[in-house]
């Protein structure tokens, strides 16, 4: 086996950071170079992520010092607005790792590759700067892409996420007391993922997100008006044609349930329902926001960037 490629994770204490540590620890061709966290500075990684059995400790690495920690790839798992300082510091120092940014900071930047592998891998041309898509944005795009050319008018998407989607910085959206027995609507127009999917798909998206009391996993119900009447057979054939060979996408006749996707690496699309006139299609997509909505996708992107099989190191269910 050739030498492993080294990966640094910035923002490694967070929900997605922990999933990334697990994935890198279990990968045959990557190993951790550093994991940064201010709060866990000095603590052994294995004390927080038992799947990692090496001796590495978290380190507080401020952005200006990032370039002094060599790595073949650097994953940024920081809150929105913090990626630029890290990228600038790496570029200024002449370090040129593959950078995968989990935040939204580069999803609207044409100089960065937008890495939603199942839909954009044919646009990958060796870019070393990769913007990882948003979690809801991934589910919405999986729900809509196979019928994109049939869409008439805006697509409405109703989304419900587990509260891990809101990160670890305390807010109403990850406050378990306020969420108990509750469903919390927020950002009902102009959510960032509404803009992200509109930009990527070229369609008008109307997205209404909610956060629920469960920890992980999200569901999106997309309401798609069609230019011409369709049949269920034709709709199913389109989704099967588009996703049938995708190891991380599963298509089902029944609507997928969020409780069944939590902790799993793929996404599910199903529940195809047509109005009587065949002009209104409803589709449901679920995924684990921390995995296919974040860390798993980042690992697919890293594999792609290093020329490894795209799902290497990702537990794929048959």
Ligand X SMILES: NC(=O)C1=CN([C@@H]2O[C@H](COP(=O)(O)OP(=O)(O)OC[C@H]3O[C@@H](n4cnc5c(N)ncnc54)[C@H](OP(=O)(O)O)[C@@H]3O)[C@@H](O)[C@H]2O)C=CC1
3-class SS of residue 170: coil
Nearest distance in Å: CB 119, ligand X = 16
Catalytic site residue 135? yes
Q: Which residues contact 194 (CB under 8 A, 6 or more apart)?
A: 157, 205, 206, 207
107 is a site residue for ligand X (CB under 6 A) = no
The residues, any chain, with a CB within 8 Å of residue 142's CB and separated by 6 or more, are 118, 119, 243, 249, 267, 269, 285, 287
Question: For 268, left (φ over 0), alpha (ψ -120 to 50), or beta?
Answer: beta
Edge-to-edge order in the sheet of strand 205-211: 184-185, 205-211, 155-161, 218-225, 280-287, 267-274, 249-252
103 sits near ligand X2W (criterion: CB under 6 A): yes
Beta bridge partners of 184: 211
> Which of ligand X, ligand X2W, none does 209 bind, CB closer than 5 to 8 A by kind?
ligand X2W
Task: Kindly give the pairing relationship between strand 73-76 and strand 5-10.
Answer: parallel
Q: For residues 82 and 199, which CB has a smaller minimum distance to ligand X in the complex?
A: 82
38 binds ligand X (CB under 6 A): yes
Give the C-alpha distances (Å, rounded to integers) separating 216 from 62, 230, 288. 29, 34, 6
CB closer to ligand X out of 12 and 155: 12
Taking the complex as a whole, how short is the minimal distance between the CB of residue 226 and ligand X2W, in angstroms?
28
217 binds, among ligand X, ligand X2W, none (CB under 5 to 8 A by kind): none
Q: How far is the CB of 138 from ligand X (least distance, A)?
A: 8
Helix (H, G, I), strand (E, B) or coil at 208: strand
Of 8, 14, 97, 165, which lies in the binding site for ligand X2W, with binding defined by CB under 6 A?
Answer: 165
Query: What is the C-alpha separation between 35 and 264, in angstroms, rounded?
Result: 24
Please, what's the largest Cα pairwise distance for the chain?
Answer: 63
Confirm or reject binding of residue 84 to ligand X2W (CB under 6 A): no
Q: Which of 89, 168, 223, 273 binds ligand X (CB under 6 A)?
A: 168
Binding mask 51-80 for ligand X (x = CB under 6 A): --------------------------xxxx
| 164 binding ligand X? (CB under 6 A) | yes
CB nearer to ligand X2W: give 135 or 304.
135
- Applying CB under 6 A, the span of 4-12, 32-40, 161-169, 244-252 interacting with ligand X2W comes to 161-169
Name the residue among 249, 304, 311 with its Cα closest to residue 122.
304
Measured from the CB of residue 56, what is the shortest distance to ligand X2W in angstroms?
25
Q: Please report, as ranges, the residues that interact with ligand X according to CB under 6 A.
A: 11-17, 37-40, 77-80, 82, 102-103, 134-135, 164-165, 167-169, 289-290, 293-294
Active site residues: 135
Q: Please report, as ranges, the residues that interact with ligand X2W according to CB under 6 A.
A: 80, 103-104, 134-135, 161, 165-166, 173, 192-193, 209, 211
């Amino acid at each position: 086996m050739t030498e492993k490629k080294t990966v640094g994770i910035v923002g490694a204490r967070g929900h997605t950071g922990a999933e990334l540590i697990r994935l890198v620890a279990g990968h045959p061709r990557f190993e951790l170079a550093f994991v940064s966290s201010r709060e866990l500075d000095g603590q052994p990684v294995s004390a927080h992520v038992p799947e990692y059995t090496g001796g590495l400790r978290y380190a507080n690495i401020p952005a200006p010092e990032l370039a002094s920690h060599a790595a073949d790839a650097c994953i940024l798992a920081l809150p929105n607005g913090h990626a630029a300082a890290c990228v600038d510091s790496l570029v200024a120092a002449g370090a040129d790792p593959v950078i995968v940014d989990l935040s939204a900071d580069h999803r609207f930047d044409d100089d960065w590759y937008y890495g939603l592998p199942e839909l954009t891998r044919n646009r990958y041309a060796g870019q070393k700067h990769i913007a990882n898509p948003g979690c809801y944005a991934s589910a919405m795009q999986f729900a809509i892409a196979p019928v994109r050319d049939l869409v008439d008018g805006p697509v409405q998407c109703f989304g419900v996420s587990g509260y891990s989607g809101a990160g670890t910085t305390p807010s109403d959206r990850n406050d378990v007391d306020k969420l108990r027995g509750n469903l919390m609507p927020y950002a009902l127009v102009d959510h960032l993922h509404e803009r992200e999917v509109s930009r990527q798909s070229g369609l008008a998206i109307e997205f209404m997100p909610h956060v629920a009391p469960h920890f992980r996993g999200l569901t999106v119900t997309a309401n798609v008006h069609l230019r011409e009447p369709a049949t269920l057979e034709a709709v199913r054939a389109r989704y099967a044609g588009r996703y049938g060979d995708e190891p991380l996408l599963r298509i089902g006749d029944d609507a997928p349930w969020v409780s069944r996707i939590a902790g799993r690496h793929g996404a599910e699309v199903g529940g195809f329902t047509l109005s009587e006139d065949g002009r209104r299609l409803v589709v449901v997509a679920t995924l684990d926001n921390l995995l296919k909505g974040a860390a798993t996708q980042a690992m697919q992107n890293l594999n792609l960037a290093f020329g490894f099989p795209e799902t290497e190191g990702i537990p794929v269910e048959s």
